[in-house]
Amino acid sequence: DAGITQSPRHKVTETGTPVTLRCHQTENHRYMYWYRQDPGHGLRLIHYSYGVKDTDKGEVSDGYSVSRSKTEDFLLTLESATSSQTSVYFCATISPLQGGELFFGEGSRLTVL
Amino acid sequence: SQQGEEDPQALSIQEGENATMNCSYKTSINNLQWYRQNSGRGLVHLILIRSNEREKHSGRLRVTLDTSKKSSSLLITASRAADTASYFCATAKSSGTYKYIFGTGTRLKVLA
């Protein structure tokens, strides 16, 4: 267990508003990830980070930005939320030196009306 | 498009039977991992197999990897109702980026 906490766990917002989801980890893992999960699509990688201030795009990065100013926090921002971004968002971390398995948070359910 | 694709998309079996699900991927990989997700929860790691391994066991789980066919299979033996969940494979390219891409998953239902 990498002590991953996602906040908020549930959020309802309106189209066009900015939204920020936070992922906090307590294990000092170097890599952090944001995925979204939608029916029929499994998990799709949005962005990931390989260190403080080091991030890279995933499969579905359009409309999302991320920031990592501290090892323990990885923020996902929707600058102007759209209904297509209604989804469940999962944060994950990995420590390659400790086996390479991903540890997941419990998810954040976002509804954009 | 996603790196991994699982099949079948859904599988329904009786308790005690074996369940097999498959994962195909597109590029050379460093390792392949299988995860389980209970409804509405985060994913939990099951097993990791490296590109130079062909088979791995963990309890009732058996994973095989065929890099020539770019495919893997997960076998759950003597299934239980508690095995009901979705199962996903995840791969990272062999370039060492740790950019893990997941497949679409297999929904397994084990009937008591």
| Structural domains of chain B sorted by starting position, each given as residue range(s) with its CATH number in brackets | 5-111 (2.60.40.10)
Percent of chain A scoring above 90 in pLDDT: 86
pLDDT at A97: 72
Cis peptide before A8 (omega within 30 of 0): yes
pLDDT at A61: 96
Residues of A in contact with B8 (CB under 8 A): none
Rounded-to-integer distance, Cα A58 and Cα A30, Å:
17
C-beta atoms of B102 and A103 within 8 A: no
- Is A99 a residue whose pLDDT tops 90? no
pLDDT at B40: 77
- In order of A3, A30, B27, B96, the CA distances from A50 in angstroms are 18, 6, 21, 11
pLDDT at B1: 46
φ, ψ of residue B83 to 5 degrees: the values are -80, -10
Q: Which two tokens stand for residue A84?
A: 């297509």
Specify the CATH architecture of the domain A4-112: Sandwich (2.60)
CB A85 within 8 A of CB A68: no
Mean pLDDT by 10 residues, chain B (112 residues): 75 97 91 92 92 95 96 97 96 80 93 93
- Interface subset of B 78-107, CB within 8 angstroms of A: 88, 90, 97-105
Interface size between A and B, measured as CB pairs under 8 A: 65
Mean pLDDT over the full length of chain A:
93
Domain ranges for chain A: 4-112
Higher pLDDT, A40 or B105: B105
